[in-house]
Structure 1
Amino acid sequence: MAYLDTAGLEWCRGLLLGHEFLTLMCLECHVATRPQLLPDPQLDPISALVFSITQDLPPEIPSPQHLKVAGVDLVTRTGLTDLAVLHVDSEADLLEEAIRLVTTWDPDMLVGYEVQRGSWGYLLERGLALGVEVVARLSRVPEGARASHHLEEEDEYGTEHTSQIHLAGRVVLNAWRLMRSEAALQSYTLQSVAFQILHTRIPAFSHTQLTAWWLADTTRGRTLGHLLLRCRLTLDLLHRLDLVPRTAELARLFGIQFYDVLSRGTQFRVESMMLRLARGRNMVAISPSVQQRAAMKAPEWIPLTLEPLSRFYTEPVVVLDFQSLYPSVMIAYNYCYSTCLGRIHLLHNPPPQPYSFGTAHLRLPPDPKQLLEMVDEMNVSPCGVAFLPSRVRRGVLPVMLEEILNTRLMVKASLKRCGERDASLRRVLHSRQLGLKLIANVTYGYTSANFSGRMPCSEIGDSVVSKGREILERSIQLVNSHPTWAAQVVYGDTDSLFVHLPGRSRSQAFVTGQEIAAAVTKMYPKPIKLKFEKVYLPCLLQTKKRYVGYMYETPDQQEPVFDAKGIETVRRDGCPAVAKVLERSLHLLFDRKDVSLVRQYVQRQLLKVMQGRVSLQDLTFAKEYRGARGYRPGACVPALQLARQWTRRDPRKEPRAGERVPYVIVYGAPGLPLIQLVRCPSTVLADASLRLNATYYITHAILPPLHRCLALLGVNVNAWYTELPRPSTLTASTSTLPGSSSGPSIARYFTPVACVGCGADTTAAPAGRGAAGGQGLCGGCKGSPQETVLRLGERFRTYERAVDHIRQVSCSLEMVCEACVGCRLQEVECISLDCPLTHRRTMAGRDLQAAHHLHSLLDDF
């Protein structure tokens, strides 16, 4: 640990060495709020602080004694027996007790799921509003010293993009931002993350609801229990993901501090390891300025990415991948700052003045005789840059990468020998080999980061890329020209090959793939190695970096694995319905090889969308918000549009930069721009007059990705949609549903619907029934009353059966929700948009009202 600068931060040394001094404290606070507004620390006082502490201390180290418990009668009637309560007389005393709590337990880390608005940040801002010095007293600096806090800094990046709170000597973890790098999700609310990672459903309540419970003596325990659950789940997330021990192990491996692993980029890690090796060789790294980086010669080479032979392959396609290609190239050919001699044409006639080399300058000796003697031994890259051979000087980067790769092999071997019982050692070894893999793969990026790099060099970056292109091109030529393999490379990307083997079985593809990997590996010096990765059977190559297929990794594997790269099934820029429909369609295509089955399935799903029988959660988009200053003026972005609407009502409701904002598209008056049809999902659930824009979802979201895949088979997906009948709807009755807006919705007047009787196009009348002659019926149905009555009667009986099903489902939903929220649904209102039951409850009520409307329509007619 001598290489770590931990002066003044003794906690860091203990934490990194063994975690034995690790203590985490999670905090949630309840505040007295104003209705419909988020808590404001300038106005809303803190009513209660709920905390949870976890620690990892050896038995011989004493821990702080439990706090003196007082006022337990506040919660004894609620059944919260594991909750200790300390009652104080004023909010100022509450802040003093919070400070005493932190100084007594002396935690290494302060944790909160959203630290700025509902946890430690609110506590600090409230302290400033009351004139209580909280920031410095929570830090580990001597009393009287000031600690830097985000409230005192106007750093846009620090406040908006990292939500960082600086307390000297302690690490403040903002859990939801950490989850963004740990899991790829549509939403990063605690409800969504807890379900996806911990498989636990939890409710979400408004601040108004929690305040109402808090003010009533009989329901105060619900507020405390909810906040305590959030504390414990936040800590459970960190433990389940092994976040703290893994980060500490990476900090020790890279030689940087704990929080730098989370907040700094990959260049910082590479530089930390590289400088330790350079110091032993008496080398000093340069620090180029912005002007020097701008004056550097621009890169000339890019990785080789072939245009794939796009089609549906029913025969094996073997995928071969070079193992750590760029690190292996740097090791094999000794590419480094310390071995680069510049352009080869300059060695024969070196200029008298130093010439440009990366962001600096290089001077060669006036007499190049000694260099010219080594020309035959030099490693000259395809871009014309010369490097010294290894016998003359071994580069710093090749030595570092070689040690990293060899160490990773040893760690992985130790991991295999490690028994299942020693789980803690397995976690440490896994974190170590993962860190070594990451640092090896990003070393090339350190040399080629010409815009924001710390020490870029275009000569080295171009040399690595050009050599990688040459290796890939030679390998493709060998595979295509080999007489016995009868193979064809149908796609290549940077360091991988997709080889089509026509007329071969899956077992034969494994044998041929291994032969290709062995033959190509022999062509190059160590450690460059082509590895057999997998076999696709069947597969679909769409475009560059977009392909999907059934994957087999071993010859004895019987069940394939659905593997997709770059298409909508693994992307998050669409709604979940797109991924579900596309993935199921591809499964049918791969399993049955019958396009007609795919057509039937797609048309059934499109009808569900048009009939409004798809969950709101499946039709919700979620895009990251970049901050108010992250968009150009006049930008029409849904996340920005909703953020502006929320901010006008409540300035504190603006989403954080990086937060995913959910939205849906609804019907509107003809001619309205799309940006004005964007709504928050909670608004659609509350207003029954709003209908999801099925036409937009089908034509702009679902059909385009299907077309990109199935058009390779000569299928016109858009024709499937035009063949569908337009289903009848009951849009005209939405004004009678509970929760609908009081004013008339323009969508009710202009949205085209279908006749309830025959399905013909019509437009719902804006008002009246009975005397109007049957609202929702076309002229033909009105002219044939007997036939229309029979149709409506059959429709009504269908709805009656649906109503019975709705009642049964509602009972089951009520039982599930009561188990989640802990009380009857009539007493609470869960506002979680991440729970599918929220939408199902709403739609069940609307379907019941639609059945009543149809009954009234039948009686009036």
Structure 2
Amino acid sequence: MAGGQVVALVTTRKFFRAFDCETPQIEDEWRELQSEGAFMDFKRRNGGPLMGGASQAKRGKATGDWEDSPSQFEEELSMFDDAEMDVEDLEGQAGHDVIPVGDLFSADLNPRWRRPPAPSLDPSSDTLVFQQIDLDYYLGGSIAGMPGQTQGKVPIIRMFGVTDNGNSVCCHVHGFAPYFYVPAPSGFTSNYLSEFKAELNSVVLKDMRSNKDNISITVLAVDICRKESIYGYHGQRSLDFLRITMAMPRLIAPAKRLLEQGFKFGPFPIQSYQAYEANIDFEIRFMVDSDVVGCCWIELPTGKYRVREEKSSTDTDSQTPGKVSFCQYEVDVGWTDFISHPAEGEWQKIAPLRVLSFDIECAGRKGIFPEPDKDQVIQIASMVQRQGETEPFIRTVFTLHSCASIVGSQILCFTQEKQLLRSWAEFLRTVDPDIITGYNIQNFDFPYLLNRAAALKVDYFPYLGRMRGIKSVLRESNFQSKQMGRRENKTINMEGRVQFDLLQVLLRDYKLRSYTLNAVSFHFLQEQKEDVQHSIITDLQNGNEQTRRRLAVYCLKDAYLPLRLLQKLMCVINYMEMARVTGVPLTYLLSRGQQIKVVSQLLRQAMKQDLVMPVVKTEGGEDYTGATVIEPEKGYYSVPIATLDFSSLYPSIMMAHNLCYTTLLQKGSAEKLGLSPDDFIKTPTGDQFVKSSMRKGLLPEILENLLSARKRAKAELKKETDPFKKQVLDGRQLALKISANSVYGFTGAQVGKLPCLEISQSVTGFGRQMIEKTKQLVESKYTISNGYQADARVVYGDTDSVMVKLGVTTVKEAMEIGREAAEWVYYPYLLINKKRYAGLYFSSSPDTHDKMDCKGIETVRRDNCPLVANLINTCLQKILIERDPQGAVDHAKEVISDLLCNRIDISQLVITKELTRTAQEYAGKQAHVELAERMRKRDAGSAPNLGDRVPYVIIKAAKGAAAYMKSEDPIFVLENNIPIDTQYYLEQQLSKPLLRIFEPILGETKAESVLLKGDHTRCKTVLTSKVGGLMAFAQKRSTCIGCKAVLKTDAAVCDFCKNKESELYQKEIFHLNALEEHFSRLWTQCQRCQGSLHEDVLCTSRDCPIFYMRKKVQKDLDDQSKLVSRFGCGGCIK
């Protein structure tokens, strides 16, 4: 087929596929074209990747000679554009185009950038209602007519939000001051209040190292109130407490310390005072006291608020301040004068928040990762989408130098980088996003932009928040939690905007093998993207308009995918609902651990009952016995196994037995309070708690509220028909479930705000008791003597479920018998050990299984290479689904043989581990840590950083070498032909998982002899390395291609094999053609992934198995080309 025909067919096929049209004739021609290899011939003739071997592809240069047809992603962009054309006409806009901007940048370049015009607001007749999305505080001057202190600086709460019409709001809340409690000393009366206040004020002032705010009064008020400690049951006797109100939040810590160290005043001797609620964040304190929760709707009634107007710079009246934010509405209100609506009914709605997703591209130098003080920012892609909509309504790329147009996007071209950065910052302030997202923007994009702008001295760039005159400043921070481990993070203040870095969300919520955008997109969207190495980006930038256009499309895709992922995973909705349920600001969920959510709920419930929470010093405590696991009867069960599951076991135990801080009886308390044995319970661990008839516990009340709210949300979810409202309700019920389950964890956190070993160990004690009782009940009820087919036997019991062998042969029978108690049925069931089992899960229908459920098996673990997961998964499918254990054995032996003979692709052998500490902080040397150090020496810019997952393979080394010395970068291994230590993979990676699943079937001794010994393990292939060891001193000599005899020249064959030269030549050419075909298929697959069949592949995604295959075949192709070239013209003639 001629080249023109190929082009015509490709273009026609793309056109029809863009509109989902059935074109059987064209598809037949396309298949014929592929089978004939015509496309490959066309590529060869027109400078494709196989012209001159794989060298051009290896160089990764884009020629730009081919005028490409639209990629799949570009087609999506053009469809967005088509849908918006009517709106464009109404707005009088010429459409998305390429605009050479230069110094002419204006916020009016695109009318869509701005928010809808804000209607005028009259406080005397209009109410202002908005959804609060961010909340913080600042120190400012008092305002006439507003409550609070009138002199000096005062803390002012600032709420940012959006109205139902999409207008932005900044609300300053006045009059709320921070406070904490201490117990009043014995004999204290109201007569001593002023003396106590004066003395405490004096010692706090003396303790201050600097007084830059000129504070003269630190203690605003001291009041007596009746309160009761939350910790322990005291017979509901309230005591006198002193509520100490401080002038500023930062003064609470020194006041607490001074009181704890020993404080003397008046006639009272020096004594230590226990502080209560002195460790509560000021924002949480305000939200609890004013009944505000995260992302709730706030209403400012008529006559209760004041609107701020623009003021001239000459107007210096501090009592009536003008606007200090970029928000459309800016108001002042007293802290008791607004209404906070609970998230129920109509107030469950979500405002049309603006979500900006962006990505930057930098022109790095060869072999060096981009550095902001030296390397340019060359492109910034930005997409803006309204929450609740499915498509971005703004798609803009800021590019350095000219760029060809992209249908459906607006391209703004700049001649200078300073203009580009200044204009993008102005664009961000004009668009005024509520949420800013992207991938790793917190630790790369934003820090790079801020540092680059500082290096270029770009005025006004760092003012990215909603407050005028407040710079966005970069700070380094370390975050550590049990859930996420230790991470080095960068934080940037951006008042009024929520930074929703998708990478941080995924690290917090999902356990994945890799967290690159490419791997994450494939995992959740089944869609991949080009992963272009930073050094290639510079080549594209230095090319022409077409190559910069390709880079712009790549950059746009990187900005678009986070929006797609947010939508798919419902991240924003789920986090907003969690903020509403737990009562914390949205930003806390992204930057803080789990405990703050329970503290917020606990404080709200405690305040209703005049209870106060003590500040507990924690340094880690004794451990307690965990949940019961009934000893498993290991084996392969080819009969149905019914599963009895306890719904919300731990919350249910806490509610049923009234386990709480407020109901806990300390040793000897029962006797002191005169309680009878009927007034309290004794837990299996010997701890005592009063019954609900004496006092209803706070924690049970919180749990009852959460679970009943979840029940209501699920009931509403079933009735709801609107898709967006269904997503909100689903997010709400999930947040309620997670919150209920986290209450137990809060009590068991030894280093936490309020640990209580008595509660946590009692919960697990009751759990063990319930599991044991369930086992006895099941085995005594389901018996032949009671009319059942067989005696039931519990084969395993886990934390909150028991697995029962009922003695029936079909799933239907098991379901019928188990309807009284069983949640689901496993059939067949492979019980390997404690916390390790697999089975086909039947729940909805006895005829088809819902899924293959695996727990604690290598199919779901991330610390093994993919080969282990794939092999175990295939074996389990053969054992459980195909019911063919022998087929599973044969497959395992075949894979082991391929491994030892070096026939397994390297992508299957890559192990990834997270770099959580530096090398010095580990007790022993770790493979991934040592490799990271070696990679840093080779190329510091692209080396893994703290928090990254490090991919590596284990290579052959000297006998007895430690594993950490044998870890190596997979690409380095491929490029240098370094042999893999296949024996390590067999012994350390494959053998244990394989034996675990086959021992219950074959028996312990037989499993090892069948799988790990025999003919399939005797043949091994070892590569010769190009680096290391004696290879540095070796002299390479050519050998005969036929008999491998050493040759004096670089000829193809020796004299003895000369007569077979033609036959050998044909054989090697055949091998070369096979490699070319294989490489062509891989190349085409990568082109399809990048969205174009006519451009060079630049992708270097280390998470993609095709990338490793392509690199390997590419190298084999180069080697084979060199080998064929040794035949010279003589071989060709013959």
Which TM-score band (shorter chain)?
Answer: 0.7 to 0.9
* Partner of residue 226, structure 1: 554
Residue 303 of structure 1, CA deviation: 1.8
| Equivalent position to 2:160, from 4, 7, 11 | 11
CA distance in 1, matches of 2:501, 2:544: 33
- CA-CA distance at 1:415 after TM superposition: 1.0
1:694 aligned residue: 982
Q: Residue 477 and residue 629 in structure 1: after superposition, are their counterparts in 2 closer, same or farther (change >3 A)?
A: same
Match of 2:358 in 1: 27
Give the match for residue 524 of structure 1: none
The CA deviation string for residues 12-55 of structure 1, in whole angstroms up to 9 with x for no partner, is 57665444252222232233322111011122232333322223
Q: Is the 8 A contact 1:510 1:535 kept in 2?
A: yes
Match of 1:769 among 1031, 1034, 1039: 1039
1:717 has 2:1008 as partner: yes
Q: Counterpart of 1:489 in 2: which secondary structure?
A: strand
Question: Once structures 1 and 2 are overlaid, which stretch shifts more, 620-629 or 712-721?
Answer: 712-721
Q: Which amino acid aligns with 2:947?
A: G
Could you tell me how far 1:801 is from its partner in structure 2? 6.2
Offset of residue 270 of structure 1: 1.6
**Contact kept in structure 1, 2:364 and 2:537, CA below 8 Å:** no
Find 1:339's aligned residue among 663, 671, 674: 663
Instruction: Verify the 8 A CA contact 1:114 1:175 in the aligned structure 2.
Output: yes
User: Which residue number corresponds to residue 501 of structure 2?
Assistant: 174
Q: Is the 8 A contact 2:659 2:699 kept in 1?
A: yes
Corresponding residue of 1:844: 1113
C-alpha distance in structure 1 between counterparts of 2:860 and 2:486, whole Å: 31
Partner of 1:680: 969
Specify the SS of the correspondent of 2:1078: helix
Q: Distance in 2 between matches of 1:71 and 1:275?
A: 51
Q: Distance in 2 between matches of 1:191 and 1:569?
A: 21
3-state secondary structure, aligned to 1:541: strand
Q: 1:459 to 1:3 in 2, by over 3 A?
A: farther
SS at match of 2:628: coil
In the other structure, the counterpart of 1:526 is none
CA gap 1:107/1:855 in 2 versus in 1, 3 angstroms: closer
- Distance, in Å, in 1 between the alignment partners of 2:827 and 2:436 is 50
Tell me by how many angstroms 1:335 deviates: 1.6
Shift of 1:593: 5.0
The SS at the match of 2:492 is: coil
Task: Indicate the residue corresponding to 2:707 in structure 1.
Answer: 405
Segments of 5+ residues of structure 1 without an aligned counterpart are 351-364, 518-531, 735-740, 751-763, 778-784
Aligned residue type for 2:694:
V
Q: Which amino acid aligns with 1:394?
A: K
Q: CA deviation at 1:663?
A: 0.9
- Does structure 1 retain, via aligned residues, the 8 Å contact 2:900–2:982? yes
Q: After superposition, where does 1:396-435 map in structure 2 within 5 Å?
A: 396-419=698-721, 422-435=722-735
- Which residue pairs with 2:825 in the alignment? 535
Q: Is the 8 A contact 2:866 2:908 kept in 1?
A: yes
Match of 1:103 in 2: 429
Does the 8 Å CA contact 2:133/2:585 hold for their aligned counterparts? no
Separation in 1, partners of 2:385, 2:828: 50
CA contact (8 A) 1:624 1:660 kept: yes
Cα distance, 1:318–1:126 mapped onto 2, change above 3 Å: same
How far the C-alpha of 1:235 sits from its partner, in A, is 1.9
Question: Alpha carbons of 1:798 and 1:432: their partners in 2 closer, same or farther (altered >3 Å)?
Answer: farther
Which structure carries more strand by proportion? 2
State whether structure 2 residue 955 is matched by structure 1 residue 666: yes
Question: What is the alpha-carbon distance in structure 2 between the residues aligned to residue 696 and residue 148 of structure 1?
Answer: 48
- The corresponding residue for 2:891 is 601
Percentage of matched positions with identical amino acids: 29
Which residue number corresponds to residue 288 of structure 2? none
Letter in 1 for 2:752: G
Distance 1:381 1:183, change over 3 A: closer
Matched with 1:305 is 629
Deviations 1:609-640 (A, max 9, x none): 2333322222111111114278326x322221
Secondary structure of the residue aligned to 2:829 is: strand
Q: Quick one: structure 1 residues 186 and 301, their matched pair in 2 at CA, closer, same or farther if it must change by over 3 Å? A: closer
Residues 263-293 of structure 1, C-alpha deviations (whole Å, 9 max, x = no match)? 3233211221222122111111222123xx6
Alpha-carbon distance in 1 for matches of 2:881, 2:965 = 42
Matches within 5 A, 1:534-683: 534-559=824-849, 561-591=851-881, 593-628=883-918, 631-632=921-922, 635-683=924-972
Partners in 1 of 2:948 and 2:1082 — Cα distance?
30
TM-score, scaled to structure 2: 0.63
Deviation at 1:490, TM superposition (A): 1.7
Unaligned runs of 5+ in 2: 1-130, 138-156, 164-294, 298-348, 1048-1054
Equivalent-residue separation in structure 2 for 1:847 and 1:56 (angstroms): 50
What is the correspondence of 1:669-818 to structure 2 with a 5 Å cutoff?
669-687=958-976, 689-712=977-1000, 713-714=1002-1003, 715-717=1006-1008, 719-723=1010-1014, 724=1016, 726-727=1018-1019, 729=1021, 731=1023, 746=1029, 767-770=1037-1040, 774=1044, 804-818=1073-1087
Question: Alignment partner of 2:578: what SS?
Answer: helix
Q: CA shift at 1:407, angstroms? A: 1.6
- Quick one: distance in 2 between partners of 1:550 and 1:813? 35
CA–CA distance in structure 1, aligned partners of residues 1042 and 845 of structure 2? 71
Q: How does 1:308-327 map to 2 (within 5 A)?
A: 308-327=632-651
8 Å contact kept, 1:38–1:653 = yes
Deviation, 1:9, is 3.9
Describe the shift of the 1:273–1:444 C-alpha distance in structure 2 as closer, same or farther (beyond 3 A).
same
| AA of the residue aligned to 1:347 | A
2:406 to 80, 100, 103: 80
- Whether contact under 8 Å (1:690, 1:747) holds in the other structure is no
Take 2:542 and 2:1124, find their aligned partners in 1: how far apart are those partners?
45
Pick one of 447, 459, 463 that aligns with 1:121: 447
1:578 CA displacement: 0.6
Is 2:388 the partner of 1:53? no
1:246 aligned counterpart, secondary structure: helix
**Contact 1:334–1:379 under 8 Å retained in 2:** no
For residue 745 of structure 2, the aligned residue among 442, 445, 467 is: 445
Task: Give the deviation of 1:791 after TM superposition.
Answer: 14
Instruction: Compare CA radii of gyration and give the structure with the larger one.
Output: 2
**CA separation of 1:615 and 1:3: change in aligned 2, threshold 3 A:** closer
The residue matched to 1:138 in structure 2 has which SS? coil
Cα separation, 1, equivalents of 2:602 and 2:577: 18
Report the TM-score when normalising by structure 1.
0.81
1:202 maps to 2:529: yes
Aligned to 1:28, what secondary structure does the other structure show? strand
Q: 1:253 aligns with which of 581, 596, 611?
A: 581
Task: Report the alpha carbon displacement of residue 834 of structure 1 after superposing the two structures with TM.
Answer: 2.4
Match of 1:832 in 2: 1101
Measure, in 2, the Cα distance between the counterparts of 1:630 and 1:658. 16
Question: Retained in 2: the 8 A contact 1:585–1:602?
Answer: yes
* Mapping for residues 58-73 of structure 1, pairs under 5 Å: none
Cα RMSD, aligned residues only: 3.9
1:495-514 alignment runs, 5 A limit: 495-502=800-807, 504-514=809-819
CA, structure 1 residues 700+553, in 2 after alignment: closer, same or farther (shift >3 Å)?
same
Shift of the 85–765 alpha-carbon distance from structure 1 to 2, 3 Å rule, reads closer
Cα distance change on mapping 1:289 and 1:489 into 2, 3 Å: same
Aligned to 1:44: 375
Deviations 1:654-680 (A, max 9, x none): 434332111111223444332222111
